[in-house]
Structure 1
């Protein structure tokens, strides 16, 4: 098993993510190998381990921010990161369960610069593979032998319920023209922030943290998660496809009621009214998509979203300090948070 001991020198956020990935991947692969062959084939493709024929590839596996948060949270409360490895594997499995389903529901054909799993294997196999990853996550926690495993299972289940509720709201918003900004923020709190919060809480729990430390680190993760969603929604409109792995204006083309879109639509400005008219069009041309992005900017929603992300990151840091973490883990958690919410992530 890969050595997860901390190096003596300070690491950058990217070095932390590489360290986490190297430590978690062997256990993640071992867990996925327990799946039935049909589920394993789709899951391994989605993780970037092999192509559709099962041949090994060097595809982008994603940043694995959630496992890194779990391992660092364990260290932050004075625990050994190795004890939090099952938690790290579990949150990565849950995250990828959600991505497999999300790609199907959004109709996205590209993720991490390659065709999505459903586009290669079909909708039903991708859905079933996602289901398999979710059940596997619970099995990994249950089989960890950790004295807090039962509590951890409830944490995972609660975060998944919030994630599903957020995803349900996100889909419902596409059919509604009257989405309020408070509703949209609440959707993001469930769809994205809940699992990042659970990642930190689970790591702290497995690391032997006090209840107040667990809760402060959960809040840290949730605030980072919401800030991440604000930034990710901005990238879904203006992001470089070479960085995001998705086509330009992909969220606008899918008529997503993302945070900046809803902020623009509810801004009571001329730009809001024109954007509303565009979003109600039967078909959006490339010129329409570019104009929609321009209108969001003109409404002030782009600047507002950037400001909210900054405020949330500041709030997250307050919770991190309140958790009384070990010094090095605090610096590295903060570094990962800054990377996750960077404008070019």
Structure 2
């Protein structure tokens, strides 16, 4: 069992940890993408923010690198060098980017991180091809790594969960807002665990496996990552409704305009009271979403308790992630860094 105090976790500089892990992983990630067909590699580079259409180098905003950090810290927590987890980090990052390319096509999202999505920039067919190539590259990268044969089943299981979660997410769009066929918060929670949590759990577990950890330790890190991913998705939902676009870099109320079934909305609809009834009536109306003020809808969601319930749910999963980490025999320094990630995640809502 690993005991990490809140004080130890609090002194960890999480942005520094994330940056260190990104810098450790990036050369290997670029080397892997460089093995692709040049045109496909250009699309992948565009997706990662390394180049413009045509291949001209550029520095575009990227993600925080949470999956990469989990893989590197997973290896360190197992007592190995962080570099032992790099192949797992690369594999998971390739899978994540593959999923984003296909997600944008399925959802019809034309922008990604302030730029045209790959399918908008290159075309739908080429974007599908690039996603497929990243999928194949992820499997090949992990298979070629020392210990990769033991790690591949975990990546395969995470991929099955991810695709299951994506299928549920697509099906949710066609289900009603109210009535017996409505999407309940519990169903959304399971979808989020599969679609978002599976890859985060896989990242931490892959790092541990490649670092020589026993299966029980990798399983504990997988559970922690899944809870962290579920919290991450719910926090993203909160930021989509009430976040500051100048801080998050994402447009506020976009999910409402697209009538997406996010956790705060579903939690609000699951309550009784006038605000929930008004919200249900508004969502069930067949008006053009452009005719409805999204700020008014967000106010109704908050009045019905959706924001409070979403924050409570995110905190519950963060606590569960820490509990899973505490149950595993991890190296103290790396364990402290892992324990610091959940608080940093929740702080995004402030």
Output the TM-score relative to the length of structure 1.
Answer: 0.92
Q: Name the CA distance, whole Å, in 1 between partners of 2:21 and 2:216.
A: 25
| Count of equivalent residues | 334
1:7-40 alpha-carbon deviations (Å, 9 max, x no partner) = xxx7511111111111111100110111112211
- Listed as ranges, the gaps of 5+ residues in structure 1 are 1-9
Q: Give 1:67 deviation, angstroms.
A: 1.0
Aligned partner (choices 328, 331, 346) of residue 326 of structure 1 = 331
Name the structure 2 match of 1:166.
Answer: 165
Task: Assess if the C-alpha contact under 8 Å between 1:49 and 1:61 holds in 2.
Answer: no
Q: Give 1:223 deviation, angstroms.
A: 1.1
| Larger CA deviation: 334-343 vs 192-201 | 334-343
Q: Name the CA distance, whole Å, in 1 between partners of 2:276 and 2:12.
A: 44
Q: Does 1:340 align with 2:345?
A: yes
Structure 1 runs, 4 residues or longer, greater than 3 Å off: none
Q: Name the CA distance, whole Å, in 1 between partners of 2:197 and 2:235.
A: 13
1:217-257 alpha-carbon deviations (Å, 9 max, x no partner) = 11111111111111011112222223333322111112111
Counting only pairs closer than 5 Å after superposition, residues 1-345 of structure 1 correspond to structure 2 as 12-144=13-145, 146-147=146-147, 149-177=148-176, 178-280=182-284, 281-285=286-290, 287-344=292-349
Name the structure 2 match of 1:3.
Answer: none
Tell me, what secondary structure is at the counterpart of 2:50? coil
| 1:241–1:197 CA distance, 2 compared to 1 (3 A) | same
| Larger CA deviation: 97-106 vs 130-139 | 97-106
Q: Name the CA distance, whole Å, in 1 between partners of 2:287 and 2:156.
A: 39
Q: Give 1:63 deviation, angstroms.
A: 1.1
Task: Assess if the C-alpha contact under 8 Å between 1:16 and 1:332 holds in 2.
Answer: yes
| 1:38–1:183 CA distance, 2 compared to 1 (3 A) | same
Q: Give 1:76 deviation, angstroms.
A: 0.6
| Larger CA deviation: 108-117 vs 298-307 | 108-117
Q: Name the CA distance, whole Å, in 2 between partners of 1:174 and 1:240.
A: 26
**CA root-mean-square deviation:** 1.6
Q: Give 1:154 deviation, angstroms.
A: 1.4
Tell me, what secondary structure is at the counterpart of 1:79? coil
